[in-house]
Amino acid sequence: VNDFVNRVDHQVFVQAYKGGGRPAYDPRLMTKVLLYAYTQKWYSCRQIARALRENLPMMWLAARQMPDFRTIQRFRAHHMKTVLQDVFESFVSQLLNDGYVTGEDYFIDGTKMEANANRYTFVWKKSVRHYQTGVQEKVRTIFREIQEQMTLDDQSLQDFAGDPKKKVSAQEMENWTEKVEEQMNEKQAEPNDSSSKRQLKKQLKALKTDLIPREKKYEKQLATCGERNSYAKTDPDATFMR
């Protein structure tokens, strides 16, 4: 720890101090104290301050100086935070130069951690796709019924209404619903039968308040799943494992 910190460019530490006021503890000394404390799993500022009075390696690193816990906390929370990236980069370059690492090998932590999620809050991709298929079929049926009552201008809407395999997004459903409403507002496009008008309005309301919002929800859930088969509502990073 001592050798490493001594080899870090002093300007890296100086830039964290504005100057003025009472002379601060040497930032190199404070960095050595923090790094060694972390290697010993001492993270509390009070614990580190006590070690400066009781632990021989800490006494040696600090040259028998004893900053209190407030000073240690202030250095860690303010000064060290501004130079941490530069110190880390200097540390990596030293490891490369000394041959401790080559930069050719990469290691990925594959640890599996149990999520804090209830098993009944999981969203399953298979179920979402099943429900989404049902919504698509209901929307197709509604547009097919609308098409029977009034002439639809949009060819893609007609293709969707007649093709049981074609799938459309929630955005397309919204666009088509708006077009149908625009056509309804034109007198020449309105059905003559008042009951037909009521039926059309009822169908459009079902699209806007129920089916399209559900389609949006299913699309979002499938996007969250990605390549996975499930995820937890309370912890989207969690995947159900058997």
Local structure of 239: helix, strand or coil: coil
- Min mean pLDDT across 50-54, 82-86, 159-163, 196-200 is at 159-163
Q: Say how far apart CA 231 and CA 111 lie, in whole Å.
A: 18
Dihedral of the CA atoms 141, 143, 148, 151 (nearest 10)? -170
Average pLDDT over residues 10-25: 79
The amino acid present at 202, given as its one-letter code, is K
Task: Give, as one character, the DSSP assignment of residue 187.
Answer: G
Least confident of 33-37, 52-56, 162-166: 162-166
Model pTM?
0.51
Q: What distance in Å separates the CA atoms of residue 66 and residue 29, rounded to the nearest whole number?
A: 11
Provide the pLDDT for residue 7: 87
Quick one: which of 131, 120, 142, 160 has its CA closest to 219?
131
199-238 confidence digits (pLDDT tens): 888 888 899 999 999 999 999 999 999 999 999 888 888 8
Give the model confidence (pLDDT) of 19-39 as tens digits: 777 778 888 899 999 989 988
> Would you say 74 and 49 are in contact if contact means Cβ atoms under 8 Å apart?
no
Expressed in angstroms, the distance from the first to the final Cα of the chain is 44
